Amino acid sequence: IAISALTKTFSKDKNSESALKNIDLQIVQGDMVALIGPSGSGKSTLMRHLSGLTLADKHTPGIVKVLGKPIQKRGRLDKDIRQTRAQIGHIFQQFNLVNRLSVLTNVLIGGLSRTPSYRGLLGWFTEEEKLAALDSLERVGLREFALKRASDLSGGQQQRVAIARALMQKAEVILADEPIASLDPESSRQVMETLKRINKSDGITVVVTLHQVDYAQQYCQRAVALRQGEIFFDQRVDALKTEQ
Ligand code: ADP
Ligand code: ADP
């Protein structure tokens, strides 16, 4: 991931503050990085630029690359950029599962390039795809929950299903925006441990926004702190630990 000179101003008012101010940030493949900072500091705006959901200010030289490719594009998306986006997995605070479908189907959907109609969905998938989905569930410790309804799982388990869906998608980068903000401490630990495990074993780059510094210290290799749209520190976590 390479961000250079990224500025984002939401308001058209010239005097208003930018949500992101001239951000430069590089993240190497395989790293696990926490984005921390108070509410309103720009964390999710930065994340949305990494997925192309939010576009940087026009007429600025800002560039955002993910997996070495420019990810920001106005107008129609070409094949290249769609391919790059397909390699980015998203995890949100609200899990974003389809509640009335099974856990397995929710994971299978991760492997699709477009959302189909839900009717008779499981029948659409090949045995091979189902085995791959079960394997993804295995890797987040939820294989035995495959045939339960998504909504019957706890919040922490649902978040791990969302991670399994990203694995099914063969994501090389996972962007997790406040994945534990609505979870209790034990579920939070399990979700962070799951992210850590797939980061280590599969070399998936993980960028995670967090409110709590202690989770960043415990699970991430690097912490980037934002304040009012600027990076005000950026450190390897082991350095952070020795300072305290
Ligand atoms: P957090 O990321 O801390 O959970 P939010 O992103 O929901 O909080 O909101 C942070 C701030 O951004 C709030 O002051 C909110 O009013 C503002 N905000 C978020 N989305 C919008 C929007 N679409 N339009 C205007 N303001 C927004
Ligand atoms: P964080 O994720 O750190 O809480 P955000 O990225 O949500 O911060 O917000 C950063 C700033 O950008 C805030 O001042 C917020 O009000 C503003 N902002 C975020 N999204 C929008 C939006 N869609 N429209 C207008 N302002 C926004």
Mean pLDDT of all residues in 209-224: 94
pLDDT at 78: 85
Nearest CA to ligand 2 atom 17: 19
pLDDT at 117: 59
Q: How far is the CA of 58 from the centre of ligand 1 (A)?
A: 22
For ligand 1, which residues put their CB under 6 angstroms from it? 39-40, 44
Nearest CA to ligand 2 atom 22: 10
Report how far residue 234's alpha carbon sits from residue 136's, in angstroms, rounded to the nearest whole number. Answer: 32
pLDDT digits (tens, 9 = 90+) for 80-128: 898 999 999 999 999 999 999 999 999 998 877 655 555 556 677 889 9
Segment (H or E) for 6: strand 2-8
pLDDT at 115: 55
pLDDT at 58: 85
Contact 219, 200 (CB under 8 A): no
pLDDT grade, residue 241 (50/70/90)? low
Beta-bridge mates of residue 207? 33, 175
Task: Please indicate whether residue 200 or residue 122 has the higher confidence score (pLDDT).
Answer: 200
What share of the chain has pLDDT > 90, as a percent? 75
pLDDT grade, residue 238 (50/70/90)? confident
**Closest among 141, 153, 142, 140 to 204, alpha carbons compared:** 140
Nearest CA to ligand 1 atom 2: 39
pLDDT at 45: 95
Instruction: Report the mean per-residue pLDDT for the chain.
Output: 91
pLDDT at 113: 61
pLDDT at 185: 96
For ligand 2, which residues put their CB under 6 angstroms from it? 10, 19, 37, 39-45
pLDDT at 16: 79
pLDDT grade, residue 5 (50/70/90)? very high
Examine the pLDDT at 240 and tell me if it is beyond 70. Answer: no
pLDDT at 37: 95
Mean pLDDT of all residues in 129-140: 96
State the ligand closest to the CA atom of 40. 2
pLDDT digits (tens, 9 = 90+) for 146-196: 999 999 999 999 999 999 999 999 999 999 999 999 999 999 999 999 999
Task: Please indicate whether residue 131 or residue 121 has the higher confidence score (pLDDT).
Answer: 131
For Cα atoms 109, 65, 84, give the angle at the middle one, nearest 5 degrees: 30
pLDDT at 67: 96
ipTM of the complex as predicted? 0.66
- Chain centroid offset of residue 235 CA: 20
Nearest CA to ligand 1 atom 8: 39
Nearest CA to ligand 1 atom 25: 10
pLDDT at 76: 82
DSSP one-letter string for 192-242: HHHHHHHHHHH--EEEEE-S-HHHHHHH-SEEEEEETTEEEEEEEHHHHHH
Pocket test for ligand 1, best of 39, 46, 228 (most atoms within 8 A of CB): 39
Examine the pLDDT at 139 and tell me if it is beyond 70. Answer: yes
Q: How far is the CA of 17 from the centre of ligand 1 (A)?
A: 14
Report how far residue 77's alpha carbon sits from residue 233's, in angstroms, rounded to the nearest whole number. Answer: 34
